[in-house]
Structure 1
Amino acid sequence: MLPQYAREVLGEGHLACFFVEVRKALDFSPILKAYTQERGQPPYHPVMMTLLLMYAYARGITSSREIERRCETDIAFRYLTGGERPDHDTVCTFRVRHLEAFRALFVDTLRLARSSGLKKLGHLAVDGSKWKANASKHKAMSYGRMEEAMKKLDEQIDRLLQEAEALDAEEDKRYGKGQRGDELPEEMKDPNKRAERLRQAARQLEAEKKLELAVEKEKRREKIGKAKEDLEKEAREKAEARGDDPEKARPSEKAQRNFTDPDSRIMPRAGAFQQSYNAQVAADADTQLIVAQEVGQSTSDARQLAPMVEQVEANTGLLPVELSADTGYLSQQDVEKVEDKGVECFVATGRSKHGEEAPPAPRGRPPAGLSFKERMKRKILTKRGRKAYARRKVTAEPVIGQVKNTVLPRFSLRGLTKVQGEFSLACAVHNLKKLWKLGWELPSLAAQAA
């Protein structure tokens, strides 16, 4: 039975109790405004459903069916829901409905952090990670194979339709047009004739199965055709952006599309290639709070630095003193744009080999005539540069590991827009867990407004 005083059983320091207190501090209006009127049976309260989702993600539970089971068996889940038991369809529908609001919820965790104690940003670490999509790489096809696959499917569809037509013609010839062939006259009692009728009915079923199979293959052909058109459209858009003739553009033979999640891409991950998205994170070194995040389709981190810093400023109203990032972010245009804001950048210019001894720190003024990359390399090698860059390894990398291992091991949803919403939810949950562990007092909305 559910204890009368569940909070006493859990203890005041329990994460579930913290999330109940969060309801007084977070702004849930982006979610609440979606409910303008009641229709039929009153729905579960949106704030309760949001807290349930956030707590489930905080426990690394993203399956709507597992969330439903926990609402029946786990005292912390039952405490959060007040004994309510939303089914998995309700949980899934709620999550998909409010994906856009989850981004606003993520930004609101930063407002809450600023009200609780985040007064400045010292060191900012930016990093990216390939996040596994809810799709198998075996459900993907390269552009070079699409034309051949469509031709084979056309041949198979034609053959199946011809075979079905031949079976129908044979049945029409034998029984007459419009007759199924399995109408048994009342006087027909002979078992031998009855067996023949059953064999004829089986042939008719075979013709119907061939038609059904032809329809399935036609649907697959349409999917391949759509993927082929998307790749060609993407190639034309890239050519136009480069200033080339879009009509002459052609996708790479190795360019792929996945039929389960067409927005995901094949990316190198954990020593193998998997269907993934590229998640970007900017974290504050002192608190390990995520202050900016994004999900994209590019395997590269290039040209992501300036947009992340701009998002940090928009989300928090603050700019860091300094920033560190790995070599994937090295772009003169981006670095100069960020440093124009007064943020000093420490971006690696290459990857050092494991066990390789670092060269001695340079002294004196930089020589004249150094290129942008040479100047950055020299700055990273200085004692101050090494100290600043070392903070990246104990900031961004652990944060990404914490989100990936304890909140969102892989995306549950499919499609770029949906995974962006789900990642916003995961980052909001990460920030709330950090506030819980830091022990910061959460001011109420009224106190924050005052």
Structure 2
Amino acid sequence: MQTAQRNQIELRACDLDALLAPGHAARTVWAFVQSLDLAPLYARIKAVEGRAGRAAIDPAILVGLWLYATIDGVGSARELNRLCERDDAYRWLCGGVGVNYHSLADFRTEHAAWLDAQLTRSVAALLDRGLVQLNRVAQDGMRVRAHAKAASFRRRDRLARLLAEARAQVERLKQELHDDPAASSRRQQAARERAAREREQRLARALATLDELDKVQTKKGRTDKRKAAPPPDDEPPGSAPRVSTTDSQARVMKMADGGFRPAFNAQLAVDADTQIIAALELTNAGTDMQQMAPMHTQLRNRYGRTPAQWLADGGFAKLEHITALSAAGTEPYVPVPASRNPTIDPHLPKDGDSAAVARWRARMGTADAAEIYKARAASVECANAQLRRRGLHRFNVCGTVKARAILLWHALAHNLMRVAALEAAAAH
């Protein structure tokens, strides 16, 4: 009987390139990386030949790893580091170069501006090839949980008390290091002082953010007294302003299930014919009411094109934005809010409507508009679902800048897979 011999040393002759099939997704990712403009990333490398400094990891490897990890639904730098040691696809992308989780985590959020430029560059290339037209664009917002927990939100009194404690701790650690340097190793003491100082800075930012929210709420309060407006959707009714001590830019928002959680509002503008993400934004506004015109402007600035039709759900129906899009040459297809009086036809013009708003109301009452509007759910909501499927349920970083970088990685990965699918369909 042959039994297992697991302590036998074996020498296997195998190259990394033979481990992956010719049509493997990792090869597609690497081909896409080679088409990107990596010059800005190479320019940031400080170690140069002939001078002191450790050789840097090729940025192309890090870009390829994060794109493939995003497609694979991996959002943790530690998990990606482990996969680079045991998974053939990730080992192939590394090509024998060692990586560590800290470098991976830093690289993922350090280059938001470069990622944004690559999104524009890649979609512009698709426009030149005729794969994307941007004649009909669909917009939608998706709430993504913030890294901050609900328990980290504090009101003003609690924040002020925590800030005072943090400042006292920083001063105490400084004094301890000054009075008795041998009390502990300098590295440990410096780390403790740095952690306390960072905590103090976070609390100070939280208090500053709370001051801004108080000003906004005071202004809204005056408006509510005049207009009897309902409370904003991004805060639980009747609650006092609160700010997170770990992420001052996160806001408590009303989620799809009706609950209130710390989150960000991710806005996507998608080409309705191909589901290619052409523009995006990340805000901490709890509603979509103010998001349509800025996204339309962003898309025009990115590509110099004005879509013929713009599709969005009823949450974007703001009359000023309807007028702005119409003035720019785009027909907005946004559902008209129903009137509280069932006898009033919402598609008829109202007193005070501009010509553009009157045309929008009449247009949305036609059968052609209903048929065109069907493309919204079949495009941007499908893109949202794909991002969710790849793990975009919660950001594991703090702040809008870093969270937007994560969203850009997801957009690039999504577009890469959509282009591969479109080219495969065209080949058949």
TM-score w.r.t. the length of structure 1 is 0.72
2:413 corresponds to which of 412, 415, 429: 429
Q: In the TM superposition, what is the alpha-carbon distance from 1:71 to its structure 2 partner?
A: 0.4
Aligned identity (percent) is: 25
Task: Confirm or deny that 1:339 pairs with 2:352.
Answer: no
Whichever residue aligns with residue 90 of structure 2, its letter is F
Larger Rg, first or second structure (1 or 2) = 1
Q: In the TM superposition, what is the alpha-carbon distance from 1:349 to its structure 2 partner?
A: 2.3
Structure 1 alignment gaps of length 5 or more: 159-215, 245-250, 353-358, 442-450
Give the match for residue 58 of structure 2. Answer: 45
Pick closer, same or farther for the CA change 1:374–1:89 going to 2, 3 Å: same
- Report the Cα distance in structure 2 between the residues aligned to 1:259 and 1:2, rounded to whole angstroms: 53
Give the match for residue 267 of structure 2. Answer: 280
CA deviation string 1:267-326 (max 9, x = no partner)? 112322211000100000111000110000110112211111121122233222211111
Residue 106 of structure 1 contacts residue 425 of structure 1 at CA under 8 Å; is this kept in 2? no
- The 3-state SS of whatever aligns with 1:130 is strand
- Report the Cα distance in structure 2 between the residues aligned to 1:321 and 1:429, rounded to whole angstroms: 27
- Report the Cα distance in structure 2 between the residues aligned to 1:390 and 1:64, rounded to whole angstroms: 39
Residue 263 of structure 1 contacts residue 297 of structure 1 at CA under 8 Å; is this kept in 2? yes
Whichever residue aligns with residue 241 of structure 2, its letter is A
* Worse-matched range after superposition: 84-93 or 219-228: 219-228
- The 3-state SS of whatever aligns with 1:23 is helix
Whichever residue aligns with residue 27 of structure 2, its letter is C
Give the match for residue 61 of structure 1. Answer: 74
* Worse-matched range after superposition: 377-386 or 51-60: 377-386
Residue 132 of structure 2 contacts residue 274 of structure 2 at CA under 8 Å; is this kept in 1? no
Task: Confirm or deny that 1:293 pairs with 2:280.
Answer: yes
Residue 47 of structure 2 contacts residue 55 of structure 2 at CA under 8 Å; is this kept in 1? no
2:370 corresponds to which of 355, 377, 386: 386
Higher relative contact order (CA 8 A, sep 6+): 1
Residue 214 of structure 2 contacts residue 241 of structure 2 at CA under 8 Å; is this kept in 1? no
Give the match for residue 28 of structure 1. Answer: 38
Q: In the TM superposition, what is the alpha-carbon distance from 1:375 to its structure 2 partner?
A: 5.3
- Report the Cα distance in structure 1 between the residues aligned to 2:197 and 2:23, rounded to whole angstroms: 58
Residue 337 of structure 2 contacts residue 346 of structure 2 at CA under 8 Å; is this kept in 1? no
Q: In the TM superposition, what is the alpha-carbon distance from 1:367 to its structure 2 partner?
A: 6.9
1:181-192 alignment runs, 5 A limit = none
Give the match for residue 117 of structure 1. Answer: 130
Whichever residue aligns with residue 227 of structure 1, its letter is A
* Worse-matched range after superposition: 291-300 or 14-23: 14-23
Pick closer, same or farther for the CA change 1:102–1:225 going to 2, 3 Å: closer
- Report the Cα distance in structure 1 between the residues aligned to 2:162 and 2:349, rounded to whole angstroms: 64
* Worse-matched range after superposition: 393-402 or 407-416: 407-416
1:167-246 alignment runs, 5 A limit = 227-236=206-215
- Report the Cα distance in structure 2 between the residues aligned to 1:413 and 1:154, rounded to whole angstroms: 26
- Report the Cα distance in structure 2 between the residues aligned to 1:261 and 1:37, rounded to whole angstroms: 34
Q: In the TM superposition, what is the alpha-carbon distance from 1:85 to its structure 2 partner?
A: 2.8
Give the match for residue 324 of structure 1. Answer: 311
Residue 213 of structure 2 contacts residue 241 of structure 2 at CA under 8 Å; is this kept in 1? no
Give the match for residue 18 of structure 1. Answer: 28
Whichever residue aligns with residue 25 of structure 2, its letter is L
- The 3-state SS of whatever aligns with 1:44 is coil
CA deviation string 1:27-76 (max 9, x = no partner)? 12232221254352101101111111111111111100110011011111
Residue 47 of structure 2 contacts residue 54 of structure 2 at CA under 8 Å; is this kept in 1? no
Whichever residue aligns with residue 103 of structure 2, its letter is T
Give the match for residue 169 of structure 1. Answer: none
- Report the Cα distance in structure 2 between the residues aligned to 1:367 and 1:153, rounded to whole angstroms: 54
- Report the Cα distance in structure 2 between the residues aligned to 1:439 and 1:8, rounded to whole angstroms: 25
- The 3-state SS of whatever aligns with 1:85 is coil
- The 3-state SS of whatever aligns with 2:34 is coil
Q: In the TM superposition, what is the alpha-carbon distance from 1:402 to its structure 2 partner?
A: 0.7
- Report the Cα distance in structure 2 between the residues aligned to 1:276 and 1:87, rounded to whole angstroms: 29
- Report the Cα distance in structure 1 between the residues aligned to 2:141 and 2:377, rounded to whole angstroms: 12
- Report the Cα distance in structure 1 between the residues aligned to 2:143 and 2:197, rounded to whole angstroms: 34
Task: Confirm or deny that 1:128 pairs with 2:141.
Answer: yes
2:242 corresponds to which of 256, 259, 263: 256
Residue 2 of structure 1 contacts residue 75 of structure 1 at CA under 8 Å; is this kept in 2? no
Residue 349 of structure 2 contacts residue 358 of structure 2 at CA under 8 Å; is this kept in 1? no
Whichever residue aligns with residue 88 of structure 1, its letter is Y
- Report the Cα distance in structure 1 between the residues aligned to 2:200 and 2:321, rounded to whole angstroms: 43
- The 3-state SS of whatever aligns with 2:321 is helix
- Report the Cα distance in structure 2 between the residues aligned to 1:99 and 1:370, rounded to whole angstroms: 43
CA deviation string 1:205-226 (max 9, x = no partner)? xxxxxxxxxxx99998986665
Residue 58 of structure 1 contacts residue 407 of structure 1 at CA under 8 Å; is this kept in 2? no
- Report the Cα distance in structure 1 between the residues aligned to 2:99 and 2:314, rounded to whole angstroms: 46
Whichever residue aligns with residue 77 of structure 1, its letter is Y
- Report the Cα distance in structure 2 between the residues aligned to 1:368 and 1:227, rounded to whole angstroms: 44
TM-score w.r.t. the length of structure 2 is 0.75
Structure 2 alignment gaps of length 5 or more: 1-10, 169-194, 224-234
